[in-house]
Amino acid sequence: MEAMTSLPLMTLMQLLFDTLLGFALLWLGWRALASPDLFQAIVLFIAFGLLMAIVWVRLDAPDVALAEAAIGAGLTGALLLTTLARLEAKNRSKSALEKKHKVWLMTENVKLKTASFLWLMVILMLLVSGLVYAVLTLQEQTFELQMLVSKNLESSGVSNPVTAVLLNFRGYDTLLEMSVLLLALLGVWSFGGIPKPHESLPGPVLNMLSRLLIPLLIIVAGYFLWVGSDAPGGAFQGGSVLGAAGVLLLLVGWRLCIRFVGLPLRIILVFGLGVFVSAAVVLIFLGRQFMEYPPSVAGALILLIEAAATLSIGITLAALFLVGRPEFRRHK
């Protein structure tokens, strides 16, 4: 009797929770876009990311939830906040280059108001209709795909289906994601001459917090990497936690020793992608397809690739936070 009454109550509560969550997400997204104050918009965006992570948990996708919370809310929020600090520093400084830039921006603004608005609307409408079409033509049940994954899980070398898909069955997706991240860093490094905001010394509290948290973050990154083979976790989750440790180090004023800023840093940045591509290419020479891991060594290969990827992703994200290429040729 008790089970019969408690079951509909439970689903009703879940429905209520999901509805509230959905509306809160939409409201936060709208407020973040419409807020005239940039700082407020960023804080709203971080809150949006955290709620989004809960949505992924509700959709039974803890892997995505972890990545969303760490990258979508945490690291992107930190990146946006430093960008804001640099924008404000830039507005204060009055170099010649700065003025030229401002004029360019203003003319851009005027143009946008008159003609480009219509074009933007057309492009947006195309994008929206494309997305609607994609959603409408989506198969309701992708049961065959699930069956396909679980049938071949044994030969993938790992027991977590998400890792099996990301690193083995559709490894090139992850490969391309990692190259996108590397390209983003190259793009950031290509912009020079961004004024640095005034850096204040970290107080005793931030110092102590970093001393306690950074070792813990490194352990958690290693845990995510290891646990990814049979539970939610993996290279991107571990890498973003490692990146958070890097951001914290940069915040307390730690800088990479000048000896390591040149070639050693670059080697670490491309290490993950390098290991991934070389593993795939070596397999071709051994008479297999590109990225076709032999089942007997697939587990070890995936762990190797993920370990390299975690390191590279973490260092790349921390380097993104630094904004601008670390200088190492100043004395030449």
Partner 1 sequence: MLLSEFFTVILLLAGAFFFLAGTVGLLRFPDVYTRLHALTKADNVGLGLMVLGLALQAESWAMTGKLILIWLCVLLSSASVAHLIANAARKKGIEPWKQ
10 belongs to the binding site for partner 1 (CB under 8 A): no
Which listed residue (213, 250, 252, 261) binds partner 1 by CB under 8 A? Answer: 213
- The structure tokens listed for 220 are 């958690």
Alpha helix (H) residue ranges in the chain: 2-34, 38-58, 62-67, 76-92, 96-111, 117-136, 143-156, 161-164, 171-190, 204-227, 235-251, 258-261, 263-285, 295-322
Which stretch in 38-46, 209-217, 224-232, 304-312 sits in contact with partner 1 by CB under 8 A?
A: 209-217
Angle at 217 between CA 260 and CA 80, to 5 degrees: 75
Which listed residue (212, 263, 267, 281) binds partner 1 by CB under 8 A? Answer: 212
Report how far residue 196's alpha carbon sits from residue 52's, in angstroms, rounded to the nearest whole number.
32
Give the amino acid at 327.
Answer: E
Angle at 180 between CA 68 and CA 290, to 5 degrees: 105
253 belongs to the binding site for partner 1 (CB under 8 A): no
The per-residue DSSP string of 170-237 comes to THHHHHHHHHHHHHHHHHHHH---PPPPPPPPP-HHHHHHHHHHHHHHHHHHHHHHHHTTTSS--HHH
Nearer residue to partner 1 within complex by CB, 136 or 201? 201
Residue 96 Cβ, how far from partner 1 at the closest point, in Å? 31
The Cβ of residue 241 has, within 10 Å, a number of other Cβ atoms equal to 30
Nearer residue to partner 1 within complex by CB, 81 or 188? 81
Nearer residue to partner 1 within complex by CB, 206 or 261? 206
Q: How many residues bind partner 1 (CB under 8 A)?
A: 8
Which listed residue (59, 122, 183, 216) binds partner 1 by CB under 8 A? Answer: 216
Nearer residue to partner 1 within complex by CB, 97 or 208? 208
7 belongs to the binding site for partner 1 (CB under 8 A): no
Residue 143: what are its φ and ψ, rounded to 5°? -65, -35
24 belongs to the binding site for partner 1 (CB under 8 A): no
Map the footprint of partner 1 across residues 164-203, applying CB under 8 A. Answer: 203
80 belongs to the binding site for partner 1 (CB under 8 A): no
Residue 205 Cβ, how far from partner 1 at the closest point, in Å? 5
Burial class of residue 45 (count of CB atoms within 10 Å of its CB; 0-12, 13-18, 19+): buried
Which listed residue (115, 131, 208, 282) binds partner 1 by CB under 8 A? Answer: 208
250 belongs to the binding site for partner 1 (CB under 8 A): no
Map the footprint of partner 1 across residues 129-148, applying CB under 8 A. Answer: none
Give the binding site for partner 1 (CB under 8 A): 203, 205-206, 208-209, 212-213, 216
